[in-house]
Amino acid sequence: MGIGNPLLCDDGVGLRVAFELKDRVDQPEVTIMETGIAGLALLDLLVGYDRAIIIDAIQTIDGKAGHIYRLDTQAFDAARHTVSQHDIDFTTALEFGKKLGLSLPKQIIIFAIEASDVRTFIEECTPEVQKAIPICVELVLQELKKG
């Protein structure tokens, strides 16, 4: 699942990775989604799947544009009470869904690509982030092979 805004420069990098994956993945049991949402709405989309790989943009303090981080939900858990609660954050949404007994993926991996510009309306990524796209595609393919 690629998440982002395709009109907002590097914010859309997750969508571009998902788009590339459409031509590279032929397993019928794998669904490739492109979306622009977060929180509870994300929960709605994850219901019914066994595993999820999410590809998203991220901005970290002193982060280097184009760097790719592989995170699991534990990494978000660790800091849940120190990070911002936009709408409802992803971890809280997941915990909420679990409490309600929703059928959510047993494993969720997040590939987060460090973004440089997420404030300019333009339909392409900055060069550093652009370079990360094929690398991230390979990482997702390897992740899929793990089964």
Residues that bind other proteins (CB under 8 A): 4-8, 11, 35-41, 43-45, 47, 56-61, 63, 69, 75-76, 78-88, 92, 95-97, 99-100, 102, 112, 115, 118-122
Least gap, CB of 143 to other proteins (angstroms): 20
Of the pair 83, 141, the CB lying nearest other proteins is at: 83
Phi-psi region of 129 (alpha: psi -120 to 50; beta: other; left: phi over 0): alpha
Question: Which of 35, 33, 143, 41 lies closest to 90, judged by CA?
Answer: 41
Rounded (10°) angle between helices 13-22 and 127-145 = 50
3-state DSSP call for residue 79? coil
Least gap, CB of 4 to other proteins (angstroms): 7
Least gap, CB of 147 to other proteins (angstroms): 28
